[in-house]
Structures are given as structure tokens and as C-alpha cells.
Structure 1
């Protein structure tokens, strides 16, 4: 069965977002179980990313992984952690999504 490399990258992004959210919730590792869950999420993230970059050019995969992760975790910070964002900052996040979608649409991948 072939696994889509973009699906693996999507999974890596989800686990990176989970890990970062848990890292914030751990309050600087003052809550060790949450901190350990954060580290476990990052481990799964990098495991999936390692497979994704065997089929997606590493620069493209990293740009999408980092960009989408930054954009979504910024929105989570705004909604869940009540951090402020300006209209200009929201516009910049939108540009990150546009770039990630453009990279996805213009990059050929091989199946695993």
C-alpha cells in the first residue's frame, strides 16, 4: 500500500502543533507529564517528517512544515492562549498559507 508523502507531512505538522501547544501548557516544564507528552509529540513529528522528506524535496517539505506549523500555532496562541494579533500579523499568516499551498501544488512527489 502506498502512503502519500503529503499525508505524512500533514501528520508531522499536526504532531508539531500538538507538541508546541503542550510545551506552552507545560509552563516551562513545571508540569512534567505535559512536558513529556510534548517531547513524545515532537518525536512522532520528526519520525513522520523523516519519511516525508524521502519523497518531497527537503527544502519544500521544511518550508511547508515550518510555515503551516507557525501559522496554525500562532492562531492557536491567539484563540486558546489569548495572545494578541494585529490585522497585519493575520495578513502575514495568510501569506504563509498561500505559500505553503503554492509549494504543494507545484511539487511532484513519489509514493512510498
Structure 2
């Protein structure tokens, strides 16, 4: 199970990289960031499929998208100076709480 969660984190890392490259590509007008988009999303989807061998789709997607949203919000702040207001930070905290609740209390992630 630890390997599955490692693959999930790798998938999220690829997806976060791809999303950051999407912003940096300036609507695919810059070559290297555009190639980073393809590499990031393809790598993310590959590792996502590996996770689906163990975890159900709904749980996998909830974790993948939730963790990804938190990371890309941080990347937007760190790389592109995109500021988050209090409601956005509260929303991110609620997403993190949902991830914790799924992992600590749900039996759905066991097939």
C-alpha cells in the first residue's frame, strides 16, 4: 500500500509540474514549457493508472485532485506571484481536511 501512495504522490508531482508549465508556456507559445506540459500530464496519467490497480477510481481521483489543487496553489504563489485571500486559504484547508478524513476514517480505499 505504501508503494501505491508513493505512485499517487509521483502522479500528483507530474500533474503539478504540467500545470505550472501550462502557465509558463503562455498558451503554448514557448517551446520548453509546452514540452513540460506534455511530459507532466503524460507522466501524471501513467502513475495515476498504476494507482488505479489498487485503489478505487473515486478515492484515487479525490486524493489526486485534492493534493494537486493544494500543490498547484502553492506553485502559483511561489512561481508566479499569485496571491491567495482568506477564503481561498480556508478552502484549501478544507480540501486538506477532506484528504485526511478519507485516509484516516474511510474504508473505501481498500478493495
Q: TM-score range by the shorter chain?
A: 0.7 to 0.9
TM-score of the superposed pair, with normalisation by structure 2 = 0.88
Superposed displacement of residue 3, structure 1: 6.5
Aligned to 1:41: 40
Question: Aligned runs of 1:86-97 on 2, under 5 Å?
Answer: 86-97=85-96
Q: Residue 84 of structure 1: CA displacement? A: 2.4
Q: Name the stretch that deviates more: 62-71 or 101-110.
A: 101-110
- Asked whether the equivalents of residues 5 and 109 of structure 1 are also in contact (C-alpha less than 8 Å), the reply is no
Query: How far apart, CA to CA, are the structure 1 residues paired with 2:6 and 2:89?
Result: 26
Q: SS of the residue aligned with 1:52?
A: helix
**Count, aligned residues:** 109
Q: 2:23 maps to which residue?
A: 24
Paired with 1:84 and 1:41, the residues of 2 have a C-alpha distance of: 24
Cα distance in 1 between the residues matched to 2:33 and 2:77? 21
Question: How far does the alpha carbon of each residue in 1:20-67 deviate from its partner, in whole angstroms, 9 at most, with x for none?
Answer: 011111111110221012111111100000010110111001001011
TM-score (structure 1 length as normaliser): 0.87
Q: Larger relative CO (CA 8 A, sep 6+): 1 or 2?
A: 1
CA contact (8 A) 1:16 1:45 kept: yes
Q: Larger deviation: 25-34 or 41-50?
A: 25-34
User: Any idea what SS the aligned residue of 2:80 has?
Assistant: coil
- 1:55-74 matched pairs, under 5 angstroms: 55-74=54-73
Unmatched segments (≥5 aa) in structure 2 = none
CA RMSD of aligned residues (A): 1.7
